[in-house]
Structure formats: structure tokens, C-alpha cells
Structure 1
């Protein structure tokens, strides 16, 4: 009986030993795998943080540059154009010929239009405008400036109940909109531009649409940095770093282009 008990103990010890031999490598592999997954997650978090800090630095540099341009437009060019108006007023009094007077008046009206456009442009370049008045007012200024050219119709539509997006996000959204509008003006040959701000309960979507000739999105997004159209990659990158997405819908000669920038509500403010 004693021998039988000893045999059972030996078998039990052997079984436990075999289990340890079998389970230990598995546990080791699982622990190593968890550590590796944690390492990849930490590495991705560091990469995302670095990209966000890089975007922040780029925005600060861009805002400083645009701020300087806005100040120069308002203080220097605006003042020079005002002087031109004064000279034209004086010239109109000296001109006797009615045809020449008409030309002076038309030139003066044109300069006044330029002054208005310069002031509007300086406001849309100034990030303080977004801080003070918000994204929608800044978009309105941008579209009014384009509308005054007389060649393109613009429209801003707002859907849903408005809520705060956050100053930094609004600045980025304005710059992305300006880039999209600039692409439409330069390349699309559009006659209509429509910007729509959709305030949903779970997300905010900003859509920039034109009725231009369209283009190949795949071809444009794969161009080199020094080629025209490479800026589309920046739209995707900026949206991604803000926790959102940017979808570009377009085909050559197929009814224009739509740029949809979507921000989850959880990423706002």
C-alpha cells in the first residue's frame, strides 16, 4: 500500500513537472507578446504625439507668417491704396473732359473694391479673427471675398444646432477650407462653391464642394511633394492628427469635387 501511495506521489509530481515544463514557455510567450504589444502601442502613441507637436509647431509658424502678411496688407498696402484714392479725387477735380472724369471715377471705384478685398483678406489670414468671431464668421468672410470677384457664386449652409469646436480645431479647419477653395479656384474652373457645416450630435462635418471639372484623386495624392496637387496629402494628415478624417470625392469631368472633413464630437474642444 505504501508503495502504491509512493507511486501516486511520484506520478503526481511528474505530472506537475510536465505541466510546468509545458505551461511555462506558453506563459513566457504570452507575457512577451503582451510586452511587445504594449511596446508597439507606446511607440504609436509617441509617434502620434510627435506628429501632433509637429503640427502645432507648423501651425504656429504658419499663423505667425500669415499674421505678418495680414498686418502688411492692412497697414502698408491698405494705406497706399487710400493715398491712391485721395490722388484720384484730386485728379477728378482737375480733369475737364467728361470722358476722362468717367475713367477717373471707374478707376477710383476699382481701387475701393481692392481696398475692401485687401481688408477682408487680411482678416481671413489673421488667426485672431477665428479666435474672436469663430469659424463660421471667418468662412463667411472668405466666401464673400471670392464672391466679389464676380466670376464665382458662393454659398455657406449651416445644419444642426451649433456648438463649440475649439479654437485650435477651428483654425485648422479654416486653413483646410482655404486650401480646398484655393485648389478649386486654381484648377477646377468652377462657377459655384458651396461650404456646408453640419453640427451633428456625435460629429461635426465640414464639406467644401465645387461644380468644376474634377480630377483623379488617386493620381493627385500620389504626386511628389514638389508637384501640384500634393497638398491633398496634407489635408488627410491634418485631419488625422486632429482625430478626424478627410474624404475627397472627385473624378475627371464628373460633376466637380467634394472635400468632407469629419470630426468626432469626442475630439472637439
Structure 2
């Protein structure tokens, strides 16, 4: 009986030993895999954080540069043009011939239009405009300026009940819109531009579309940083900075549609 019990104990110990030999490597491998996965996740988080901080710095530098340009336009160019108007006023009083008076009058009107456009442009370049008035008034101001150039028909449509997205988010969205419009004016040869704003319950959507000549999105996004079209990558990165997405749809001869979507703001 004791011999049987001893054999059972030996078998039990051997079984436990074999289980340990079998399970221990598996447990070690699993633990190592978990640590490796955690390492990869931490590495990816650090990479994303670095990219977000780098992009944030780029946006801040751009805002400072554009604000300086806007101030220079308003303070220097605007003042010089005002002096030109004053001189044209004096010239109009001195000119006797009606035909020349009309020429001076038309020139003065043109310069006054330029002054108005410069002031509007300086406001849209200044991020304080977004801070003071919000995204929608800033978009309206930008499209009115574009409309006055008579190069393209620009239209803004809004849907949903307006809610603030936060100062930083609205500045980035305005810059993305300005970059998209600039691309449409420079490259698309479009006749119509439509900006659509949708305040959804769970997200905010901003869509910029034109009826221009379009392009291959795959080819454009594959270009180097110093080549034309590489700015599309900035749109993707900036949307990611806001925790959102950017979808660009285009094809040669089919116009361009840029849809930017960001989450509903948690803190308003």
C-alpha cells in the first residue's frame, strides 16, 4: 500500500515537473510578447506625440508669419494706398477735361477697392479674427474676398445648429480652408467653389469642392515635399492633429472635393 502511494506521489511530482517544463516556456514567450507589444505601443505613442508637437509648432509659426504679413499689409501697403487716393483726389480737382476726370475717378475707385481687399486679406491672415468672431464669420470674410476678385464664384452653405469648436481647432480649419481655396485658384482653373459646413450632433464636417480640372490624388500625395501638390499631406496631418480625418476626392476632369471631419468638442 505504501509502495503504491509512493508511486502515485512520484507520478504526481513527475507530472507537475513536466507541466512546469511545458508551461514555463509558453508563459515566458507570452509575457515577452506582451512586453514587446507594449513597447511597440509606447513607441508609436511617442512617435505620434512627436509628430503632433512638431505640427503644432509649424502651425504656430505659420500663424505668427501670416499675422505679421497681415499687419504689414494693413499698416504699410494700406497706408500707402490711402496716400495714393488722396493724391488722386487732388489730381481730379486739377484736371479740367471731363475725359481725364473720368479716368482719374475710375483709377481712384480701383485703388479704393484694392484698399478694401487688402484690409479684408489682413483680417483673414490674422488669427485674432478667428479668436474674436469665430470660424463662420472668418470663412464668410474669406469667401467674400475671393468673390470680389471675380475669378471664381464662391459660396458658403451651413447646416445644423452652430456650436464653438475651440479656438485652436477653428484656426487650423480656417488655414486648411485657405490652403484648399488657394490650390483651387492656382491649379484647378475652376469657375465655382463651394464651402459646406455641417454642425452634426457627433461631429463637425467642413467640405470644400470645386468644378476645376481635378488631379490624381495618388500621384499628388506621392510627390516630394518641395514639389507641387505635396501640400495635400499637410491637410491630412492637420486633420489628424485635430483628432479627425481628411478625405480628398478628385480625378482629372472631375473637380476636387476635400472633406474634413473632426469630433464633436467635448468641452465647449
Query: Shorter-normalised TM-score: what interval?
Result: over 0.9
- Per the alignment, in what secondary structure is the counterpart of residue 260 of structure 2? strand
Residue 152 of structure 1 deviates from its aligned partner by 1.4
1:80 equivalent in structure 2: 80
More displaced 10-residue stretch of structure 1: 126-135 or 233-242 = 233-242
Residue 54 to residue 138, structure 1, CA distance change in 2 (3 Å): same
1:15 and 1:231 mapped to 2: Cα distance? 66
Residue 266 of structure 1 deviates from its aligned partner by 5.7
Query: Is 2:20 aligned against 1:24?
Result: no
After TM superposition, list the pairs within 5 Å mapping 1:7-18 onto structure 2: 7-18=7-18
Unaligned runs of 5+ in 1: none
1:15 and 1:80 mapped to 2: Cα distance? 95
1:157 equivalent in structure 2: 157
- Per the alignment, in what secondary structure is the counterpart of residue 76 of structure 1? helix
Runs of 4+ in 1 over 6 A off after TM superposition: none
2:167 equivalent in structure 1: 167
1:258 equivalent in structure 2: 257
After TM superposition, list the pairs within 5 Å mapping 1:197-216 onto structure 2: 197-216=197-216
Residue 225 of structure 1 deviates from its aligned partner by 1.3
Is the CA contact 1:169–1:268 (under 8 Å) kept in the aligned structure 2? Answer: no
Is the CA contact 1:239–1:245 (under 8 Å) kept in the aligned structure 2? Answer: yes
Q: Deviations over 1:24-61 (max 9, x none)?
A: 11111111111111111111111111111111111111
2:189 and 2:113 mapped to 1: Cα distance? 23
Query: Is 2:143 aligned against 1:143?
Result: yes
Residue 225 to residue 80, structure 1, CA distance change in 2 (3 Å): same
Is the CA contact 1:67–1:125 (under 8 Å) kept in the aligned structure 2? Answer: yes
Unaligned runs of 5+ in 2: none
Residue 170 to residue 266, structure 1, CA distance change in 2 (3 Å): closer
Query: Is 2:189 aligned against 1:189?
Result: yes
Residue 139 of structure 1 deviates from its aligned partner by 0.6
Q: Deviations over 1:235-255 (max 9, x none)?
A: 11111222111111111012x
2:6 equivalent in structure 1: 6
2:55 and 2:33 mapped to 1: Cα distance? 33
After TM superposition, list the pairs within 5 Å mapping 1:203-242 onto structure 2: 203-242=203-242
Is the CA contact 1:242–1:267 (under 8 Å) kept in the aligned structure 2? Answer: no
1:202 and 1:5 mapped to 2: Cα distance? 70
- Per the alignment, in what secondary structure is the counterpart of residue 179 of structure 1? helix
Residue 264 of structure 1 deviates from its aligned partner by 2.0
Residue 268 to residue 220, structure 1, CA distance change in 2 (3 Å): farther
Is the CA contact 1:205–1:261 (under 8 Å) kept in the aligned structure 2? Answer: yes
- Per the alignment, in what secondary structure is the counterpart of residue 77 of structure 1? helix
1:102 equivalent in structure 2: 102
TM-score normalised by the chain length of structure 2: 0.97
Is the CA contact 2:236–2:246 (under 8 Å) kept in the aligned structure 1? Answer: yes
Q: How many residues align?
A: 268
- Per the alignment, in what secondary structure is the counterpart of residue 96 of structure 1? coil
- Per the alignment, in what secondary structure is the counterpart of residue 161 of structure 1? coil
2:11 and 2:242 mapped to 1: Cα distance? 62
